[in-house]
Every structure is written in C-alpha cells, then in structure tokens.
Amino acid sequence: MQEDNKSRATIFIFSALAFVVLYALDRLSKTMAVAKLKDSVPVKFFNDNFELSYLENQGAAWGILSGKIWLLVIFTAIVLCLLLFFYFRIPNDKHFMMLRIAMLLIISGALGNIIDRIRFRYVIDFLYFKAIDFPVFNVADCYVTIGTFMLVIGLLFVYKDSELGFWFLDSKSEE
C-alpha cells in the first residue's frame, strides 16, 4: 500500500511538472505572438505556405461558438474534470505511458486555452498553414491534437478493451 502511494505521488509530481512546462511553453509562445505579431504583417515561411499571423479567437476551432465564451469555458471545464478523473485512474505501469502522455497533452492544451478564455475572453492563435487554408491555431491546440491522435491510436491499436476497464471500476474493486 505504501509503495502504491509513493508511485501515485511520483506520478502526481511528474504530471504537475509536465503541465507547468507545457503550459509555460504555450504561454511563452502566445506572449511572443502578442509582442511580435500583433498589429503587424504576417511572417511568412516555406514559399508563403506557412505563416505566423496574429488572431484573437473568441470561439473554438474554426471560430465556432464565437462570442460564447462562458459556454466554451463551462464545456471545457466539464471535459477537463472528466479527463482528470480518468487520468488519475490510469494504472501505474509503463505499459500505459502512451495513454498517460496523450491525456497529459490534451489536459495541458485544454487548460492553456481555458485559462486564456477566462483571462482575456479570447485565445491567441498565430500558426497558419496558408497552403491548405487551415484555421489559425496555437501551441495548446497542437497539444490537444497530438494528444488526441495518440489517444485514438492507443485505444484502437495498443490497448485491449480488457486493459481499459480501470477507467470505470470503482476504487474498492481496484484494491
């Protein structure tokens, strides 16, 4: 029992540190976008196929629910609570590292954007693939996208259904 508590504490500390680093990188990139890109022309790369272009997004992806900040905050908060609940139920086993990293990326990205929505009433987006006219996005969005991709791959190809029962077990049946 003491070993289990020790490994849970280690995972909690690792998770907290990883979140702080990921959030700091997201926040730093957004701060730099404001300082260097706001009220200026886009910075173009790769034959004008990619650019750094400042945008204050008051909605979600593709600007959906624009202006509905509190609806987005409430929805994101509910999803974050569910994700955190599942995250801390992942077994302390190296086999589940991919799942843990995927969830940590999704949680970090969602938290980075929800904090901005609450603080500023918008999210700073600045990465734009002009060649495919993909919506402008930010580093937190990259975390969510990469984490979701990893989660889907893990759930489809890495983990068996029988291995994922821990998400729905009550705490007494785990012991």
**Residue span of the structural domain in which 19 resides:** 2-41+79-122+138-174
pLDDT value at residue 174: 45
Asked, for residue 158, whether it belongs to a domain, the answer is yes
63: left (phi over 0), alpha (psi -120 to 50) or beta: left
Q: Which residues of the chain have pLDDT under 50?
A: 170-175
Number of domains in the chain: 1
The pLDDT, as a whole number, for residue 150 is 97
- Does residue 170 form part of some domain? yes
Q: HSE on the CB side for 174, CA within 13 Å?
A: 16
Provide the pLDDT for residue 167.
Answer: 66
Residue 27 lies in a domain: yes
Q: Judge contact between 106 and 83, C-beta under 8 A.
A: yes
Residue 127 lies in a domain: no
Task: State pTM to two decimals.
Answer: 0.87
CB 123 within 8 A of CB 116: yes
Per-residue pLDDT of 10-51, as tens digits, reads: 888 999 999 999 999 999 999 999 999 999 999 999 998 999
Q: In a 10 Å sphere around its CB, with 0-12 CB exposed, 13-18 middle and 19+ buried, how is residue 78 labelled?
A: exposed
Residues above pLDDT 70, as percent of the chain: 93
What confidence score (pLDDT) does residue 2 get? 61
Domain assignment of residue 56, yes or no = no
Establish if 50 belongs to a structural domain: no
Active site residues: 125, 141
Establish if 60 belongs to a structural domain.
no
pLDDT of residue 171: 46
Report if residue 62 sits inside a domain.
no
